[in-house]
């Protein structure tokens, strides 16, 4: 039974070119089929935002450590907390 909410295909049916072990292409010549693909993706922003914040903190700490010696970084960390 066909899904009636979907328009019927105007693309002529044909088999893919097959050499016995691999499929290569569909022989449509100058015909250009139109395909509508809908997709829905889950929202993962709640996972990415904290990760991005942690990565920014790491980058900041690395740049501070590169500019100063280790002792002064620990002093700076204690003063900011």
Q: Tell me the per-residue pLDDT of 2-18, one tens digit each, with 9 for 90 and over.
A: 556 666 666 667 777 77
pLDDT of residue 56: 93
> Which residues pair with residue 18 across a beta bridge?
23
Backbone angles phi, psi at 48, to 5 degrees: -80, -35
What is the pTM (predicted TM-score) of this model?
0.36
pLDDT digits (tens, 9 = 90+) for 24-69: 777 677 776 677 778 888 998 888 999 999 999 988 988 887 777 6
pLDDT of residue 53: 93
- H runs (alpha helix) in the chain: 45-67, 70-80
User: What span, in angstroms and rounded, lies between the C-alpha atoms of 1 and 7?
Assistant: 14
């Amino acid at each position: 039974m066909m899904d009636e909410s979907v328009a019927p295909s105007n693309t002529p049916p044909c088999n893919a070119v097959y050499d016995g072990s691999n499929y290569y292409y569909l022989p449509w010549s100058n015909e250009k089929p139109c395909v509508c693909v809908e997709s829905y993706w889950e929202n993962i922003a709640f996972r990415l935002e904290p990760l991005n914040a942690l990565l920014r903190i790491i980058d900041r700490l690395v740049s501070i450590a590169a500019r100063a010696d280790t002792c002064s970084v620990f002093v700076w960390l204690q003063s900011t907390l």
